[in-house]
Amino acid sequence: MRLLHAPRISVVVISRNEGEWLRRTLEDLSQTLPPASEIVVVDDGSDDGSADFLRAGRKGMQLLRTSGLGVARARNLGARKSRGEVIVFADAHLQLPSGWWQPLVDVLRRPNAGAAAPAVADLENREAFGYGFTLGAADLVPRWLKRLERAPFHAPFLPGCCLAMTREVFRRTGGFDRGLRSRGGVDAETGVRFWLQGYENWVTPEAKVWHLFRTSAPFPVKRAEVIHNRLRLANLHFNPQRVREVRQALADDPAYERALQLVAKGDCATRRKNLLATRVHDDSWLFQKFGISW
């Protein structure tokens, strides 16, 4: 979809036990988004009352209550309930300056654009920006990239803490993989899939946001589900040799056997078959394009 005018923006905020950060993030969004934008908050099972202030309703905001959908499915739900031509998926612990959205919208006007993300810095280290990320080893742990150019540039994967795409791209790609559990690996899977399906991931370095990086989530996260998501990514998109390398890299994790069981219960085989039928590149093309080697 080509954006020939100023689009309506929908921001989908996923929240769970965010405390006061949810209110702060929504205030930043309300003050910086263009007119006619909307904010959809998916509160995915909070027990800290952090979203209660939205129950009475606020102009331009919609609250959806869910229970443990996980990041991927919560994002999909929020997107389906939104109406904008551009959808921005945002964490509930961000600081956003005036005009942060404009470079993202501009780059989405490019013919093959799939998704766009700003430079992201830690709130406690405000000048240390990351510009997309790569997977530097077979354990599939993301590693932030340095700035490559002043103008927008391609990155292998984009951070989902502030991720924009058109509604048409969301529809065509099916959004986020609903087979992913809880959190972890969602953005890497989306990045791989977009490139293999012929869409481009763009970093817009002139757009900057600040993100609260935590050492642990404010809700229980099962390690087996995190490892499951990495194994699922490999099984969906990588050739057999790379799948073996990922398994070997993760095999010593105490949650590995349970993660394998979760993978076996899922729909990997069927989904992989469907993805292979629609992609225009393979994983070796992606690894070569971005110099990923392990």
Structure confidence at residue 4 (pLDDT): 46
Residues of the chain with pLDDT under 50: 1-2, 4
The reported pLDDT for the residue numbered 177 is 98
- Give the separation between CA 14 and CA 174, rounded to whole angstroms: 18
Q: Long-range contact list for 259-267, CB < 8 A, 24+ apart? A: 259/224, 259/225, 259/227, 259/228, 259/231, 260/231, 262/181, 262/224, 262/225, 262/228, 263/228, 263/231, 263/232, 263/235, 266/179, 266/232, 267/179
What is the pLDDT at residue 1?
46
pLDDT at 151: 97
Per-residue pLDDT, 215 = 87
- Residues constituting the chain: 294
In CATH, what number does 9-211 get? 3.90.550.10
What is the CA angle 142-119-204, rounded to 5? 110
Query: Which pLDDT score is estimated for 148?
Result: 86
pLDDT at 7: 87
Domain(s) of CATH 3.90.550.10: residues in the chain: 9-211
Instruction: Report the pLDDT value the prediction gives residue 57, as an integer from 0 to 100.
Output: 84
Confidence (pTM): 0.96
